[in-house]
Structure 1
Amino acid sequence: MTQRRAQADKADFPWWLVAAGLIGAWLLWQVVADDLYFRVLTTLSRGIGITLFVTLVAYAFATLLGLGLALAGLSRWLLLRQLARFYIEIMRGIPIMVLLLYVAFVFAPALIAAWNWATGWTGWEPMKTRDFPFLWRAIMALTFAYASFLAEVFRAGITAVDPGQIEAAKALGLKGWNRFRLVVWPQAFRTILPPYGNDFVAMVKDSSLVSVLGVADITQLGKVTAAGNFRYFETYNVVTLIYLFMTIGLSLLLRRLERHLRRQPG
């Protein structure tokens, strides 16, 4: 049995990570040793903060909206369930690129027009469409899109909790919010974490789509840099390297957290 386990552990050794590490080390050496690579990295590094800002803010908003949709979908009220399902199915059926363009050029101007109409009696100066930055339009679009995905993740995790646990909580006199906070959520979190983490990594990659709106993230700066120096190979090598460092690093951290939670009792 011990020999079989050792063989299984050897077979499960992450050779892919070794290969990725060697490629990453080679690319890092190119960045350090080659002045062109270093200049490209210096330029693109300004977009890392924008990429992380878009990802973190949009995912935080999507988490809150997705949790609200999941709870509405599990509500005893038919209207709430139908509204939640309507939103989820519509948003999941629209490509994120199309949603970005729709929010940026249709929804945002309509929202500003509605605001100006609602506040017209106050005498405030009307807002202009250009007063709504494309950065926040992109964040809004990603929030709308990922909320529909996370709603299904939360719904699956909550419904996976043993009904007997909920009945026991009711017998102990716990009311709705305390029952959810103390009993349902801690157990659902273990089920939710893997797909929730995967969606976060996917958000890091999908944040590159905001470049179509001219937001100065890593991808947009890469396009501008390559168009200026005509060194597409070197520029997009650096773009790829930055995204790989972020996504693979996050994936490894999430796997470690999952293993830690599996070792916890209960």
Structure 2
Amino acid sequence: MVSWQMNGVAHVMRLVYRRRFVTEAAGIRTLNRPKGPSAPPKAIRRRWNVTTTSVNGFDVHRIGRADKAVVYLHGGAYTSEIVRQHWSLVDFLAARTGFEVHVPIYGLSPEHHGLEALGLVTEVVRGLGKPCYLVGDSAGGGLAMLTAQALKGDGINGFTMIAPWLDLTMSNPGIDAVEPTDPWLYRAGLRPIADAWTGGLPLDDPRLSPIHGDLDGLPPMQILVGTRDITLPDCRLLRDKAGGEVTYHEQEGAIHVYPLLPVPEAKAGRRAIVEHIRATVA
């Protein structure tokens, strides 16, 4: 089971984060709140050579320099900015793989929408000119899969999704049983955020909800998800439907994006990600 008393940190995170999604009104407030900074923190800049370029008008930060690349796509329901837990994983990936890590700062809703983010990430991947692996958590996990689908795997050796948001409709009937056990995420608050991200397209458009897209010909994928996470039913569905190679990790008792959190399960989750990257990228 997840320990919520680990230095008090995870417990506080749970209480703060759940308020953003518990009702539709809370979701709208989350959608409309001011965005925070997105630049790499000082700790990252002290440890790594960080360069920043602009692609399609958005910053893309490169951590380190190597002949192989990871592209990391942060979560936050497509409306919250990158935070220190994401940067911690970026640091870990750069240190443990020896790859450079590219972090596109895609535009967030309600000012921006899904096709704009997809266009940015596909452009970043096309411009790398070297072996590439995608990693994304939550909303970023869904965006990673959308990118692999859009490019038909071209230039992408593999990808990891940590508790990905695979279906903006959130209509999988299995969610009904999991939602009461998820201490963070509620569909009521996520629905207005999903609507804003579509840019007027249907929620089940395959360019927004990758589980409705083409599952054939994808590069090797890895999925990590906990059993107390409303993304679990769609992760299981994708595992069963995907035509390509799938490495699936389901952590009993773990909550949303557990490899990013200060919980005991995170260590094994992060190690599994690095192992998959090393085994996949030639």
Band the TM-score falls in, shorter-chain normalisation: under 0.3
| Higher-helix-fraction structure | 1
TM-score by length of 2: 0.22
TM-score by length of 1: 0.23
> Highest CA radius of gyration, 1 or 2?
1
| Higher-strand-fraction structure | 2
